[in-house]
Amino acid sequence: MTHPTRRRLLALTLPLIGALAMTASPLSAEALTGPAPAWAMPSIEGGQISSGDFKGKVVLLVNSASLCGYTPQYGDLQALQDKWAARGLVVLAVPSDDFHQEKTSNGEVKDFCELTFGLTLPMTEISKVTGPEAAGPYPWLAKTLGFVPRWNFNKVLFDGEGRVVGTWGSGAAPLGGEIEAAVSALLS
């Protein structure tokens, strides 16, 4: 497929995909699940990131991509972490090429995020978030909640015990809306 043809196809399908990706689960004061089982993923910095690293912390898990229309959310995700980190929030980015919008190497992703958005939040290596090769907590999310990212920048909020308390689609803004209100409620 030539690049102009691919761009036209994407221009026709992105609004439909975006509408599907914007769905969110209702947020309640109670957790939607029991605690997630332990998991680990390779860090983009080297070494491992594991669920044990976040014991007692509120975690916002986000499947991300550098070449997506929602990529500017990185700025708000960093601002959210900067605002709430001292009270116990960790925003964890999981770059993924499942929707064919990620750069080709971990180094390119790391450089792009640091240079473009000044990201300091923890980030895994490029990982699968859908299908049988999904990494980290994603297989458990699919099995337990039926939550599978339908596009980039889907968000899952875990309380300090590792229980899911909310999920949001791509269009949910990290700052000033439901997500920040949920973070605030958990950290107050």
Q: Which residues are catalytic?
A: 68
What per-residue string of b and e applies to 91-104 under the rule 16 or more CB within 10 Å gives b? bbbbbbbbbebbbe
Closest CA to 122 of 97, 90, 96, 95: 90
Q: How far apart are CA 128 and CA 136, in angstroms?
A: 9
What Rg do the C-alpha atoms of the chain give, in angstroms? 16
Q: How far apart are CA 95 and CA 162, in angstroms?
A: 21
Task: Look up residue 30 and give its two tokens.
Answer: 């109670």
Answer whether 155's CB lies under 8 Å from 147's CB. no
Question: 2 Cβ partners below 8 Å, 6+ apart?
Answer: none
92 three-class SS? strand
What is the identity of the amino acid at 70?
Y
